[in-house]
Amino acid sequence: MRWPAFKDRDAGGRFILEAATFASSALFAGAALYISLVEHPARKTLAASSLDVPKSKGKAIKKSAIKSAVLQWRESYQRAAPLQVFYALVAGVGGMCNTFVLKEAAAWAWGGGLVAMNVPFTLLCLMPINKELGKRAEMAELEQETRGTSDREEETKVEEEEVEEADPVSRRVTFCLGSWSCSGLPSTKHLLRLWGQLHAVRAVLGLSGFLVLTAHILSVAHSRRASKVMIYG
């Protein structure tokens, strides 16, 4: 076993691994916070817009606005998901390697682990919502393509805002947390709101991991500075 020797032999490799872990945690936390604090609230505002629908059709206005919001969600999700998964995995693997392979402080494992927890959390809690919102986006896109054939056809589409849990031919969307479980066919607006709440958990996990790593790095830097003062002072 030569793992312990690696720490003394290749300080450059250790620095690269630590830098990659810290940078990935920072990128994940920054992106997650941006989505929770900026993008998703803007998406809610988009759901209230109605510029392309006559004001005489109140229900159609809501429907069109929510379609725009879910389509924007899909485009954002398809671009952000691969990056966020990559950042989370790099932070998690890097943190574990720093602690258990290079024998660094446990803070690396804690910080990287908090960021990496977003992967199982997403698979268990958000994936059912992601899939359902993806289906809603496909339906909205299809309706946009076939739109304009007749006013009657447009008005007979599914009014998503009026679908309640009492729907007799309902599907079931089950989430991992029992208190957030809901049966029936939830409205797209409800799913977007719930997605935002669950994504806030991801932002908290990412920010917590980043802060743990930041505190550790600052602590190490302070200790080294104090040691130099004692030696040369």
Chain segment 143-173, per-residue pLDDT in tens: 877 765 544 444 445 444 444 443 333 344 4
Mapped onto helix, strand or coil, the DSSP state of residue 196 is helix
The yes-or-no verdict on residue 2 having pLDDT over 50 is: no
User: pLDDT (tens digit, 9 = 90+) per residue, 188-226?
Assistant: 888 999 999 999 999 999 999 999 999 999 999 888 776
What pLDDT sits at residue 223?
A: 83
Helix (H) or strand (E) holding 138: helix 127-145
Residue 185's pLDDT band (boundaries 50, 70, 90)? low
| Strand, coil or helix: 172 | strand
Q: Write the pLDDT tens digit of every residue in 96-141.
A: 999 999 999 999 999 999 999 999 999 999 999 999 999 999 998 8
Taking 90 as the threshold, does the pLDDT of residue 95 lie above it? Answer: yes
Render pLDDT for 7-42 as a digit per residue (tens, 0 to 9).
Answer: 455 778 899 999 999 999 999 999 999 999 999 999
Kindly state the average pLDDT of the residues 3-7: 45
Distances (CA, A) of 59 to 20, 50, 159: 50, 11, 8
Task: Please state the rounded mean pLDDT for residues 65-86.
Answer: 94
CA–chain centroid gap for 58, Å, is 32
Give the CA distances from residue 90 to residues 2, 97, 131, 228, in Å, rounded to whole numbers and listed in that order: 23, 10, 25, 33
Separation between Cα atoms, residue 46 and residue 57, nearest integer Å? 18
> What was the pLDDT predicted at 1?
31
The reported pLDDT for the residue numbered 144 is 77
Residue type, 200: A
Q: Using CA atoms in the order 224, 229, 230, 233, what is the torsion angle rounded to 10 degrees?
A: 160
pTM of the model: 0.78
CA 111 – CA 199 distance, rounded (Å):
19
Domain parsing of the chain, residue ranges: 3-146+187-232
- β-bridge mates for residue 182, sequence order: 173
Structure tokens, 2? 């030569």
pLDDT band at residue 45, thresholds of 50, 70 and 90?
confident
Predicted pLDDT of residue 173: 46
Predicted pLDDT at 59 = 61
Mean pLDDT of the chain: 80
Which residues neighbour 199 within 8 Å (Cβ) at sequence distance 6 or greater? 32, 35, 36, 40, 126
Could you say which DSSP state residue 55 is in? T
Q: What are the CA-CA distances from residue 229 to residues 96, 154, 217, 221 (Å)?
A: 32, 76, 19, 12
**What was the pLDDT predicted at 61?**
60
| pLDDT tier for residue 63 given thresholds of 50, 70 and 90 | confident
